Amino acid sequence: MSKIILQESRLTKLIPEKLAKRYNVFPIEIKDNNLHIEIENEDIYAISDLKLATGMDIVLEKRDKDTITKKINKYYKGENKLDEGYAKNLFKEILSKAISKNASDIHIEPFEEYLIIRFRIDGELNEIARFLMDIYPYLSSVIKLDTAMDITEKRVPQDGRVNLSINNSLIDIRASCIPTVYGEKIVLRILNRNTFLKKKEDLGFCIEAINKIQNIINKKSGILLVTGSTGSGKTTTVYSILNDLRNTNKNIMTIEDPVEYKMEGISQIQVNHKSGLSFDIGLRSILRQDPDIIMIGEIRDVETAQIAIRAAITGHLVISTIHTNDAISSIARLIDMQVPPYLINASLIGIISQKLVKKMCPKCNRNKIIKDTMEIDINTKLGEGCEMCKDKGYIGRTAIYEILEINDQIRKCIQEMRDSKDIKEIAIKNGMITFEESSKKLIKN
């Protein structure tokens, strides 16, 4: 066993003075990358804070309070402060840990006494650490500076972003902060550029589904909608489709907020509300650039919907996303956005709707029956658990989906303003892939 004994003055550089005094702890030695500290009573918050501060596993050794206090007063000279330097190291450590755990989001949440750090992993939020609020002003300032937000503004929501290289991966971080009663809550969305671009089969689409998607995008004009809730993988699916299309001799242009992934061979436009470049204004300008294929990051308002639909009926292939729960309700959503049924008829060529579910561990029980697929969400477990998946019952997430190719019968239903139930029944008879079918294929596989 390797054992490193450093002078007390060198060991104290590992732990900020404020942390040492807060928890009344003192570092005594390092063994096998474990930092041994003296503490009066076991404290899980002390372990969490010190682990993040030092990057080492913490081993507690009990000592009386007065002895520890005397050592702190003797060896700490006030030079090792809980400040922006410490906050920068803490931010790097949080990001590094999030990447290693394949987290999609980091939540930094201030409360009355504690600052809580949570990661969203496989759709679930997990508390990773909590700190006393002393570090919060420094940490929030560091994050806002790094992501190009205004550190002097604390009263209104802000958005920012930054590209970083972490653990040999190029990471795109989208930041959002919003005022709460205890301070600004910060959420960081993580996009790993090394793993973002995927083939449709890697996303969970079966051969039949891929063929249906291919049939839709082979059409020279019309609009394909990709629908689902926030975090359901819509953007990943859209980029997978764009990656297939960019190998053609087409002029492909996008307008996005933000541009999620920079792709060679595609002209991508970033929405900029401050300068007046919105989705609808950008889309009008794109139509003057002789595009063959247009990708709109999201249809959010009536104007964008109407321009997108009109672009689709004038010889352009349009791909966009919209927030709905399933494929059929996307039609109703367009009608709600004041798009006339005859324009939907003339333009809509297909709808992909998707959700993310936990992927069953191959060694776990495969006989789980899904009684009502529409209730499946990101928290659904499709297995029991084993040593391979560490008793979670799943390994990562995959997509379940609905795919609807629009044909004459569906168009007739839309024109007649039939209700969603009738349209769905006819769509299923005409070969629409439903959530139930895709989830059954997932279980069989």
Strands lying side by side in the sheet with 3-4: 3-4, 26-31, 34-39, 57-62
**pLDDT category of residue 104 using cuts at 50, 70 and 90:** very high
Are 108 and 185 within 8 A, CB to CB? yes
The fraction of the chain above a pLDDT of 90, given in percent, is 52
Give CA–CA dist 416/418, Å, rounded: 5
Range with lowest mean pLDDT among 84-88, 91-95, 118-122: 84-88
pLDDT computed for residue 444 by the predictor? 62
Average pLDDT over residues 171-196: 93
pLDDT computed for residue 78 by the predictor? 60
Work out the number of other CB atoms within 10 angstroms of the CB of residue 406: 24
DSSP run (H or E) holding 255? strand 252-256
The pLDDT tens digits of the residues spanning 49-62 come to 888 777 788 999 99
Q: Say if pTM beats, i.e. exceeds, 0.85.
A: no
DSSP run (H or E) holding 424? helix 420-429
pLDDT computed for residue 348 by the predictor? 97
pLDDT computed for residue 443 by the predictor? 67
pLDDT computed for residue 1 by the predictor? 40
The average confidence (pLDDT) of the chain is 86
pLDDT computed for residue 387 by the predictor? 67
Give CA–CA dist 389/325, Å, rounded: 30
Residue ranges of domains in the chain, CATH in brackets:
3-75 (3.30.300.160), 84-193 (3.30.450.90), 197-444 (3.40.50.300)
**pLDDT category of residue 5 using cuts at 50, 70 and 90:** very low
CA 242 distance to own-chain centroid: 20
pLDDT over 80 at 242, yes or no: yes
pLDDT computed for residue 369 by the predictor? 33
The pLDDT tens digits of the residues spanning 250-301 come to 999 999 988 888 898 999 999 988 888 988 899 999 999 999 999 999 998 8
pLDDT computed for residue 267 by the predictor? 96
List of E strands, 193-245: 222-227
Average pLDDT over residues 351-367: 76
Residue 347 tokens, joined? 């333009």
Average pLDDT over residues 345-371: 74
Strands lying side by side in the sheet with 252-256: 267-270, 252-256, 293-296, 317-322, 222-227, 348-360, 394-405
Q: Which residues of 211-249 are buried (b: 16+ CB within 10 A; e: fewer)?
A: ebbeebbeeebbbbbbbbbeebbbbbbbbbbbbebeeee
